[in-house]
Structure 1
Amino acid sequence: MAGIDGPAAHLSDGLFTTAIAVYALAMVGYTAEFAFGRVARKTVAAPVEAAQPAKVLVGAGGPSVADTSVPPVETPPVSTKRSAADRIGRLSVLVTLVGVLVHAASITVRAVAVDAVPWSNMYEFASVAGLIGVAAFLIVMIKAPSLRFLGGFILLPVILMMFLAGTVLYSKASPLVPALQSYWLAIHVTLVSFAEGALMTSAVLTALFLVRSHYDKRSAKPGFTPSANVTWAERLPSAATLDKAAYRIVAFAFPLYTVAIICGAIWAEAAWGRYWGWDPKETWAFIVWVVYACYLHARATAGWKGRAAAWVNLLGFACITVNFLVVNLVVSGLHSYAGLS
């Protein structure tokens, strides 16, 4: 089907490219804050003055009493002035917000160009999932501001995915094929893109959790000496903080993914006359659902908490990647709507 070559389509492509550039600028800022703004926080004991002989108080007609009171120790005033790295980090958040607005505008203008919800092919789906991934990180920062300087780790896979979408997976704005002209497209694919975009952010945080927990395990051994290639792991937030943030995102996204599969089955019955046919896309969607269900169950099981459950989380996102790339590009099926020529 011929693409739509109009001003709205060109504007959408331009906004998409601009969003990538803005995200890249924000990533540089987050990386600078991570590299120069975080140092290992160590508790330093207050200096103790040289011991002074105890003063002896002599009362009128009474026994001598030793004055054992300790004089107050003066501590240097704490500066409330923000460091340069902190200011860069705050500015990076603003730049990220600008990128989100530009990115959302690109998707909105694309919808105007095709006169439909703009996630009917791999390019459009990747764009929406990338936007949700960044938005999920911004929401996490509201609950855990200490994770702000990890923005570079979140934006890197988003930028790479958007670059892949804008080059290899790019499709010109086109009207929907007849099989997709249904209101179920707006419901089913929206839920899937929201869930998988959020799960991408969870996967990044989980990978950082594994790095931090591995560092903590090594540093606890006697005679441990940090080397240059592991000092960056020391700058990461605590393993518990990363693990908690990754888990909360999955706990939010999993119900969305579940409802998306149910809606997809209803749509399949209306379009093809059956709820489930073990099409490659359906099969891998079910595999993804099972893996993340196992992850949530593992989090509730004492023997599987921590690193073991984290590997299950990464396995789930690996299955999402296979479902998005391999199934769409290599395997043919009823869900082959990649949009590639």
Structure 2
Amino acid sequence: MPIDPVLAAYSDRFYLGAVAVYVLAMFLHAFEYVGSTRPVRAKALVGAGAEASAVDAVEDTANDPAGADGPSTPKRRSRGDTCGRMAVAVTIVGLLVHLGAIVLRGLATERWPLGNMYEFVSAICFAAVVCWLVVLKKSPSLRPVGAFVLPPVFILMFLGGTVLYAQAAPVVPALQSYWLAIHVTTVTIASGLLMVAGVASILYLLVKFGRAGKLAAKLPPIDALDRLAYRVTVVGFPIYTFAVIAGAIWAESAWGRFWGWDPKETVAFVAWVVYAAYLHARATSGWRTTGAPWINVLGFATIVFNLFFINMVVAGLHSYAGLG
């Protein structure tokens, strides 16, 4: 299978460009966080639609010196609010550049661009950013959380472009199957979503136990963080479940058995059990706000452990590709 070096080079440049744009968005979110004066913790949890719009109106009123009953004058956005809006716009630009890197990689190799750890990590970050932008579309009041969502995206993409980088090349024969597009893509999407949910649960615990300090005052209400983690996990968990089933079907086709307790398979199953336990705990009285967030963080840690330690340290049937 021929490799187009020109397209591969442009893919790498787009990847670096996406990292640079995400860094800019990350700093803009940080400036928003520092300069924000909105009383976001004065309200209880808000959802999408009318409730979110109502809270945005309250926040705009808080930023308007004239107040709600003042004269009808154009409202001036605070510096933090301006930076936050710019951060979202820059994130969208970064996502488009990131998409270009993935598409060009696939065109350069003439295969589905999920054949190694570099491509897999890139796709996970892409899924996480898409998830985050969808969340913002439905609940704009959660925007301050972006200051904590983008750093892990940057860290993963930095590692992908350095430690995990792989030259554009064909995949080994064992991966030349349509199941690569089905199984690995669904694992990628689920991992990206669960990363956002994990960040939300970590912030929830930091606020709940007073570890966030002054930063907690500018985060969304603690209930909003809990609901964000739950809603994203509710979407990500079925996708992850399908990915595990698809992997078992592919394993039967490639290796003659559905399940062999390979290290990758085992940890993937453990992660599935942990997330199932989280959803059960989230619906159980007494566990919803105590044990459930800890379980969600454990699930996120298991996903990260499976991504790095199992792929790069432990030998197994998945070692030849470092795939999820």
Which category of TM-score, normalised to the shorter sequence, fits these structures? 0.7 to 0.9
**8 Å Cα contact 1:171/1:339 also seen in 2:** no
- Residues 3 and 173 in structure 1, CA contact (< 8 A), matched pair in contact too: no
3-state secondary structure, aligned to 2:164: coil
Distance, in Å, in 2 between the alignment partners of 1:209 and 1:184 is: 37
Distance in 1, matches of 2:261 and 2:27, equals 44
Q: Is the 8 A contact 1:210 1:307 kept in 2?
A: no
Aligned length: 297
- Could you say which residue in structure 2 is the equivalent of 1:169? 164
The yes-or-no answer on 1:324 pairing with 2:324 is no
Q: CA deviation at 1:214?
A: 2.2
Residue in 2 aligned with 1:230? 213
Residue 99 of structure 1 and its aligned partner are, at CA, apart by 0.1
Structure 2 counterpart of 1:153, from 130, 148, 153: 148
Given the alignment of the two structures, is residue 105 of structure 1 paired with residue 100 of structure 2, yes or no? yes
* Aligned twin of 1:69: none
Q: Is the counterpart of residue 206 in structure 1 residue 196 in structure 2?
A: no
TM-superposed deviation, 1:75: 4.9
Task: Identify if the C-alpha distance between structure 1 residues 78 and 24 changes in structure 2 by more than 3 Å, giving closer, same or farther.
Answer: farther
* Structure possessing the higher radius of gyration over alpha carbons: 1
8 A Cα contact 1:129 1:194, kept in partner: yes
**Amino acid paired to 2:244:** I
User: Please, what TM-score do these two structures have when normalized by structure 2?
Assistant: 0.87
Whether the 8 Å CA contact 1:328–1:337 is kept in 2: the answer is: no
Q: Distance in 1 between matches of 2:11 and 2:275?
A: 34
Q: Distance in 2 between matches of 1:38 and 1:273?
A: 60
Superposition deviation, residue 81 in structure 1: 2.2
Deviates more, 1:302-311 or 1:2-11: 2-11
Tell me what 1:120 maps to: 115
Specify which of 313, 319, 322 is matched with residue 336 of structure 1.
319
Matched, 1:134 2:129: yes
1:260-339 mapped onto 2 (5 Å cutoff): 260-338=243-321
Task: Tell me if the contact between 1:120 and 1:180 (Cα under 8 Å) persists in the aligned partners.
Answer: yes
Pick aligned residue for 1:196 from 173, 187, 191: 191
Question: Stretches of 4+ moved more than 3 A in 1?
Answer: 2-5, 38-43, 74-79, 337-340
Instruction: Tell me the secondary structure at the aligned position of residue 209 of structure 2.
Output: helix
What are the residue-to-residue correspondences of 1:38-117 with 2, within 5 Å? Answer: 38-40=37-39, 75-77=69-71, 80-117=75-112
* Percent sequence identity over aligned pairs: 51
User: Counterpart of 2:231?
Assistant: 248
Unaligned runs of 5+ in 1: 44-73, 219-228
* Contact 2:190–2:236 under 8 Å retained in 1: yes
Q: Note the alpha carbon deviations across 1:205-262, whole angstroms, 9 max, x for none.
A: 11111122223xx9xxxxxxxxxx7111111110100100111000000000000111
SS at the partner of 2:168?
coil
Paired residue type of 1:30: H
CA distance in 2, matches of 1:136, 1:337: 30
Q: Offset at 1:83? A: 1.9
Tell me the TM-score normalised to structure 1 length.
0.83
Aligned letter for 1:33?
E
Instruction: Give the whole-Å Cα distance in 1 for the aligned partners of 2:322 and 2:255.
Output: 21
Tell whether the 8 Å contact from 1:212 to 1:238 is kept in structure 2 after alignment.
no
Q: Which residue of 1 aligns with 2:27?
A: 28
Is the contact between residue 3 and residue 172 of structure 1 (CA under 8 Å) also seen in structure 2?
A: no
Any stretches of 5+ residues in structure 2 without a counterpart?
A: 43-67
Q: Secondary structure at the match of 2:112?
A: coil
Residues 41, 221 of structure 2: 8 Å contact kept = no
